[in-house]
Amino acid sequence: MKKITRKNPEFMPKPVGNYSHITRVPKGAELIVTSGQVGTDMDGNVPVSINEQITNTFFNMKKVLESEGLTEENVIKVNIWATEEIDWDHFYPQWDEIFSTAYPSMTVAYISALGWPELKIEIELWCAEV
């Protein structure tokens, strides 16, 4: 059976975080891409602090994955955009709740603004179902 595979080539430096350098998706897999998930709560409120927005963003990520019957195994790429420095001590425990064994490929970028001025973080998930 074909499956999604992840690796970090031995001849490269180790990843600087919990991600994989390479994620390979087999031919014929279905691609599922989410819109960027942001830190709004269920009522559409946006907290002021980036850490509260991170917590809400991860809640929203879990819900969007569940809505499609997907797990960490299905996530192949994560793009993270933030308008201020990420508190990795707050971020990584939540990351590890979703990605405990299957680390997807990841890109992190610091940018000047997101779609709404009050948003401080947005996370997009690329998934595949074999």
- Is residue 85 a part of any domain in this protein? yes
Report long-range pairs for 27-32 (Cβ below 8 Å, ≥24 apart): 27/2, 28/2, 28/130, 29/2, 29/4, 29/128, 29/129, 29/130, 30/128, 30/129, 31/126, 31/127, 31/128, 32/68, 32/70, 32/74, 32/126, 32/127, 32/128, 32/129
1 burial via Cβ count (<10 Å: 0-12, 13-18, 19+)? exposed
Question: How many domains does the chain divide into?
Answer: 1
pTM: 0.91
pLDDT in tens, the chain (130 residues): 789 999 999 999 999 989 999 999 999 999 999 999 999 999 999 999 999 999 999 999 999 999 999 999 999 999 999 999 999 999 999 999 999 989 999 999 999 999 999 999 999 999 999 9
Residue 49 lies in a domain: yes
Instruction: Please indicate, yes or no, if residue 3 is contained in any of the structural domains.
Output: no
Q: Which two tokens stand for residue 90?
A: 């707050």
Q: Within a domain: residue 112?
A: yes
Query: What is the C-alpha separation between 37 and 59, in angstroms, rounded?
Result: 9
CATH number of the domain that 111 lies in? 3.30.1330.40
